[in-house]
Amino acid sequence: MVAARPRCATQLNPCMFKRTFRCKAASAAAVLFLLLALVLATAPAGAFPKPKSKVPEARSARAGWKLIWSDEFNGPNGSVPDPKKWTYDIGVGGAGWGNHELEYYTNSARDAAILNGMLVITARKGRYTGPAVAATDGQGGGTPATSSRMTSQVTRDYTSARIKTQGLFAQTYGRIEARIKMPRGQGMWPAFWMLGTGVDKTGWPSCGEIDIMENIGKEPSKIHGSIHGPGPSGSSTDDMTAIYTLPGRRRFSDAFHVFAVEWEPRVIRFYVDNHLYETATPAGLPHGTGWVFDHPFFLILNLAVGGSWPGSPDESTHFPQRMLVDYVRVYARQAK
Render pLDDT for 251-267 as a digit per residue (tens, 0 to 9). 999 999 999 999 999 99
pLDDT digits (tens, 9 = 90+) for 130-143: 998 744 333 334 33
Domain annotation covers residue 137: no
Whether the CB-CB separation of 308 and 42 falls below 8 Å is answered with: no
From the candidates 101, 214, 262, 278, give the one annotated as an active-site residue. Answer: 214
For strands 321-333 and 118-131, give the pairing: antiparallel
Indicate the SS3 state at residue 326.
strand
Tell me, what's the pLDDT at 187? Answer: 98
Nearest alpha carbon to residue 77 among 50, 100, 102, 46: 50
For 75, 167, 202, 279, 333, the CA distances from 197, given in Å and listed in that order, are 27, 8, 9, 23, 21
CB burial readout 100-131, b (16+ within 10 A) else e: ebbbbbbbbbbbbbbbebbbbbbbbbeebebb
Domain annotation covers residue 131: no
Residue 131, preceding peptide bond in cis (omega within 30° of 0):
no
Helix, strand, coil share of the chain (percent; to 5):
15, 40, 45
User: From the CA atom positions of the chain, what is the Rg in Å?
Assistant: 20
Domain annotation covers residue 152: no
How confident is the prediction for the chain on average, in pLDDT?
83
Whether the CB-CB separation of 143 and 134 falls below 8 Å is answered with: no
Indicate the SS3 state at residue 102.
coil
Left (φ > 0), alpha (ψ -120 to 50) or beta: where does 97 sit?
Answer: left
Left (φ > 0), alpha (ψ -120 to 50) or beta: where does 167 sit?
Answer: left
- CATH code of 69's domain: 2.60.120.200
Question: Domain range spanning residue 278?
Answer: 18-79+163-333
Q: Please, where are the H alpha helices in the chain? A: 18-42, 57-60, 199-202
Kindly state the DSSP code that residue 24 receives in the 8-state scheme.
H
262 is annotated as an active-site residue:
no
Ranges of the chain with pLDDT below 50: 1-34, 37, 39-42, 44-46, 58, 134-149
Phi then psi for 271, rounded to 5 degrees? -135, 150
From the candidates 209, 219, 262, 264, give the one annotated as an active-site residue. Answer: 209
Domain count for the chain, please give it. 1
Domain annotation covers residue 145: no
Domain annotation covers residue 150: no
Domain annotation covers residue 254: yes
Model's pTM, two decimal places? 0.82
Tell me, what's the pLDDT at 287? Answer: 78
Residue 143 has a CB neighbour count (10 Å cut-off) of: 13
278 is annotated as an active-site residue:
no
Which residues lie across from 65 on neighbouring strands? 333
Domain annotation covers residue 112: no
Domain annotation covers residue 67: yes
Whether the CB-CB separation of 155 and 129 falls below 8 Å is answered with: yes
For strands 103-105 and 153-160, give the pairing: parallel
Helix (H) or strand (E) holding 71: strand 65-71
User: What's at 288, amino acid-wise?
Assistant: G
pLDDT digits (tens, 9 = 90+) for 296-326: 999 999 999 999 999 999 999 999 999 999 9
